[in-house]
Amino acid sequence: MDLFAGGAVGTLFTVLYEVVKDVKDKTMMFKSLLGDLKSTLDSLKPLIEDIEKYNNLMDRPKEELENFKEKMKNGAVLVPKCSTVSRWNTYKKYKYAKKLLDLDQCLNRLLTILNVGGVRDGKETLYRVMNIEEKIDKLQIKEEVVLPKKLDIKAWCAVPELPPVTVGLDEPLRDLKKKLLKDNVSMLVLTAHGGSGKTTLATKFCHDKEVKDKFNNNIFFVIVSKKPNLDFVEEVYQSMNSEDARQNPLLLILDDVWLGSISLLQKFDGLKGPNGKILVTSRSEFPGFGTPYFLESLNDKDSMTLFHHSASLGNRSSSIPEDLLRKIVDRCNGFPLAITVTGNSLRGQATEFWRKRLRDWSKSSILDIETELLLRLQSSIDALDEKDAIIKECFMDLGSFPEDQRIPAAAVIDMWAELYELDEDFLSITNLLELTTRSLANLVITRKENMEMVDDYYVEHFVTQHDMLRELAVYNAKLDPIEQRKRLIVDISGDNEPKWLTEQKSQPIKARLLSISSDGVFSTKWQSIQLPEVEVLVLNIQTKNYALPQFVEKIDKMKVLIVTNYSSLPAELSNFELLGSLSNLKRIRLERISIPSITKNPIQFRSLKKISLFMCNIGQALSNCSVKISDAFPNLEEMNIDYCHDLVELPTEVCDLIHLKKLSITNCHNLYALPERIGKLANLLVLRLRSCTDLVKLPGSMKNLKKLVFLDISDCFSIRELPEDIGEISNLRNINMRQCSRLQELPLSVFDLEQLEEVICDEETGSLWEPFLNCLRSTRIMVAKENINLNWLQ
């Protein structure tokens, strides 16, 4: 190490250069990052001899030059270590890759300074280093950026050059022009997760001839970044706020704006004026700051075009089998950054290497292989600070569900209610909306109604997530050792038990969340596993028959069980009696499960508070149980039955659930009758019968539901009349009766609904209430317009 003592820049550079050249071809894991580093060093080499001269020319601080020296010295030590890292050592791989990217960005900054300083006429026309500084800021490099006394704003804010190839942006460009160039639109937020091509699209927008002509080239492109340089931003603001600037058409691009920079948006928002337009690119939506525009993933054709360019295939495409090319591109899921990074890493490699890459991906995550892709995606997670800790945890929880599948919001609500003590469902939805705002997930509502009242039932809310983001969640979940992980996410094919299970032996695992995805064949060898802290068990299956694993009966702390069958028909579920010994089980959610198969044995769930059945085969299960339903669920407070098409008549036994507070039966189109004894549910607060299209009438005993506050009979097309004594439901506050088209009149007892606050209806049913409104002065009639959105089915 004596070599570095007081070493000059030239000496340090030479040592680093030789080390990188030597190690680059010896390690495949960091090949892409080391290749980028080598390219940067190649560009620096002819300039490095003049670094002292240029430093004096530009009056750079000596401390900054010392920083570059320190980076080179540390880099020469770091690079050889990269060749010793095991591909399975996730933590070290991430740590070293981040340091390599840090080193490359720092040297790029030096390169930029030298190139700008090399303008020999001695003018300080300033350093185009904003893009590099932005990347360094993301990596939390604490360098002092020294601004010149007089900025050339046009030079600093010039539009970047377009990349050599841009694909899949023609239609988004047309949409962007159509939306932002409208007279009544002054700000638009272009949003998507990192690496989706937002900056490229914004750049392409600026280079468009129609845009350039409209603004007379008066276009400012400002890179904001996670930690914006506030002095620079203030200079830009003052320059653009001048009287001359505001009188001319002006386009401002605020690129890579992070959630913590709302104050900057507020500041620049005042600059729009009659001739000004602002385009914001961000991973966040920024509600209230212009219309959001969501950039979608690339289609198959554009994905292949971008990959051909990134891999420099050219005429070599014929030497790589078409099916191999297709499988690799498909694995990138239309994600531009993944396609580019993968193509770069495979460039010039033999076919055998391509096959090996695909094989490696099948055994692990693409993020295990493509470290650069991991680092770029990870920045969105690293940006979540302490106050956003629960949002980060929620993001990683979404990895518990299979890729390419929509996630029911109701399942997420059950999970988070117990893990994070979110006692109100809307709090979980708030977290999902926060993830959506940050482009880390997408909350899709299949039915939207134009009404202010929210009934806190989210059966038509689903979460979708790009596969690459799911892999990021799973990757973060496994960074800790097995026994220390907060969540354990397991994918099993056949009877192949995970390798860690054999190695774990009898050590207990501290995970609070356990997710197992399997095809139905489940090993009995799992009986030895110890899961003393698991509170939520998620079972994702795809089979006709499935047996709950034996170890379930030993998970004493389990509070939530979610079983989702992703095959087309309901699955027969056995071993259900194992749950009878779990004294803390509060919530059960079953999707596409045959209920008769789980009611053959007498089971008692004393702690169960909520049961949800979604697209299940119910048959006569609830009335032909081996034990009375009131004995099986003695303390049940909420029952949800959704999309169970074989439910014809709700069994009378349900009326014995005297602690029931919420009963929701939705989209059960063959249900034609409710039990006459339903009035026994004296503690019922919510009765929801949405979209039960064959339901003919409501039982007269409903008048005994004295605590009922919410009644939903929307889309019950067959109901002709309401119970004559409905007015005796004295505590009723809200009714949703939209699309009850056969309802011709309301009973006179409606006059007695003195607590009624809100009626949701369509125009036709709304007219039925007009004669009563003079007496029901505190009742508000809301006419809802329906908007069905089935995009999630794709």
Amino acid identity, position 8: A
Q: Does the pLDDT of residue 519 top 50, yes or no?
A: yes
Q: Which of 180, 343, 347 is nearest to 252 (CA)?
A: 180
How many helices (H) does the chain have, and how many strands (E)?
A: 26, 26
150: buried, middle or exposed (CB in 10 Å: 19+, 13-18, 0-12)? exposed
**Higher pLDDT pick, 403 / 622:** 403
Cα 407 off chain centre by: 11
Per-residue pLDDT band at 793 (split at 50, 70, 90): very low
DSSP per-residue codes, 351-390: HHHHHHHHHHHHHS-HHHH-HHHHHHHHHHHHT--GGGHH
Residue 618 three-state SS: coil
* Residues 133-181: tens digit of each pLDDT: 333 344 333 333 444 444 456 666 788 888 888 899 999 999 999 999 8
Q: Which of 673, 593, 653, 614 is nearest to 457 (CA)?
A: 614
The CA distance from 509 to 504, in Å, is 9
Q: Does the pLDDT of residue 643 top 90, yes or no?
A: yes
Q: Does the pLDDT of residue 490 top 90, yes or no?
A: no
pLDDT at 141: 35
Both tokens of 90, joined, read 């996730």
Question: How many structural domains compose the chain?
Answer: 5
**Is position 590 within any domain?**
no
Q: Which of 438, 468, 498 represents a domain boundary (last residue)?
A: 468
Task: Give the pLDDT mean for 677-682.
Answer: 95
**Is position 233 within any domain?**
yes
Residue 296 three-state SS: coil
**Higher pLDDT pick, 298 / 245:** 298
Residue 406 three-state SS: coil
Q: Does the pLDDT of residue 127 top 60, yes or no?
A: no
**Is position 369 within any domain?**
yes
Contact 665, 692 (CB under 8 A): yes
DSSP per-residue codes, 415-465: HHHHHS---SHHHHHHHHHHHHHTTS-EEEESEEES-S------TTEEEE-
In this structure, the answer to whether residues 81 and 174 fall within a common structural domain is: no
In this structure, the answer to whether residues 688 and 728 fall within a common structural domain is: yes
pLDDT at 117: 44
Q: Does the pLDDT of residue 130 top 50, yes or no?
A: no
Q: Does the pLDDT of residue 738 top 80, yes or no?
A: yes
In this structure, the answer to whether residues 189 and 306 fall within a common structural domain is: no
In this structure, the answer to whether residues 308 and 348 fall within a common structural domain is: yes
83: buried, middle or exposed (CB in 10 Å: 19+, 13-18, 0-12)? middle
Torsion of CA 90, 387, 416, 554, to 10 degrees: 50
* Residue 758, domain CATH: 3.80.10.10
* Residue 454, domain CATH: 1.10.10
Q: Does the pLDDT of residue 2 top 50, yes or no?
A: no
Q: Which of 294, 318, 333 represents a domain boundary (last residue)?
A: 294
Residues pairing with 215 in the sheet: none
Q: Which of 408, 516, 403 is nearest to 466 (CA)?
A: 403
The CA distance from 575 to 520, in Å, is 13
Q: Which of 220, 225, 210 is nearest to 268 (CA)?
A: 220
**Is position 582 within any domain?**
no
pLDDT at 675: 93
Q: Does the pLDDT of residue 397 top 90, yes or no?
A: yes
Task: Give the pLDDT mean for 313-331.
Answer: 79
In this structure, the answer to whether residues 324 and 438 fall within a common structural domain is: no
Contact 153, 130 (CB under 8 A): no
pLDDT at 244: 59
**Is position 490 within any domain?**
no
The CA distance from 190 to 293, in Å, is 5
259 phi and psi angles, rounded to 5 deg: -60, -30
Structural domain containing residue 350 = 300-374
Contacts of 733 (CB under 8 A, 6+ apart): 709, 710, 755, 756, 757, 758
Task: Give the pLDDT mean for 298-312.
Answer: 90
* Residues 8-25: tens digit of each pLDDT: 567 777 888 788 877 776
In this structure, the answer to whether residues 19 and 120 fall within a common structural domain is: yes
* Residues 174-227: tens digit of each pLDDT: 999 999 988 888 889 999 888 889 999 999 999 999 999 888 878 888 888 776
Task: Give the pLDDT mean for 229-233.
Answer: 69
The CA distance from 718 to 716, in Å, is 6
Contact 725, 748 (CB under 8 A): no
Q: Does the pLDDT of residue 253 top 80, yes or no?
A: yes
The CA distance from 266 to 192, in Å, is 21
Count of beta carbons in the 10 Å neighbourhood of residue 486: 15
In this structure, the answer to whether residues 399 and 456 fall within a common structural domain is: yes
* Residues 447-465: tens digit of each pLDDT: 655 444 457 889 889 998 8
pLDDT at 143: 38
In this structure, the answer to whether residues 362 and 389 fall within a common structural domain is: no
3-state helix, strand, coil in the chain (%, to 5): 45, 15, 40
Radius of gyration for the chain, computed over Cα atoms and rounded to the nearest angstrom: 31
In this structure, the answer to whether residues 105 and 227 fall within a common structural domain is: no
pLDDT at 551: 87
In this structure, the answer to whether residues 335 and 401 fall within a common structural domain is: no
Q: What percent of the chain has pLDDT over 90?
A: 31
* Residue 205, domain CATH: 3.40.50.300
**Higher pLDDT pick, 788 / 729:** 729
Q: Does the pLDDT of residue 788 top 70, yes or no?
A: no
Q: In b/e form, how buried is each residue of 38-61, taking b as 16+ CB within 10 angstroms? A: bebbeebeebbeebeebbebbebe
Candidate from 98-107, 353-362, 633-642, 663-672 with smallest mean pLDDT: 98-107
Candidate from 208-222, 277-291, 446-460, 645-659 with smallest mean pLDDT: 446-460
**Is position 570 within any domain?**
no
Q: Which of 321, 345, 374 represents a domain boundary (last residue)?
A: 374
**Is position 523 within any domain?**
no
Per-residue pLDDT band at 1 (split at 50, 70, 90): very low
Candidate from 248-252, 569-573, 609-613, 660-664 with smallest mean pLDDT: 248-252
Q: What is the mean pLDDT of the chain?
A: 80
pLDDT at 449: 55
* Residues 707-724: tens digit of each pLDDT: 999 999 999 999 999 999
**Is position 793 within any domain?**
yes
In this structure, the answer to whether residues 252 and 140 fall within a common structural domain is: no
Side-chain-side CA neighbours of residue 29 (13 Å)? 20
pLDDT at 274: 63
In this structure, the answer to whether residues 290 and 314 fall within a common structural domain is: no
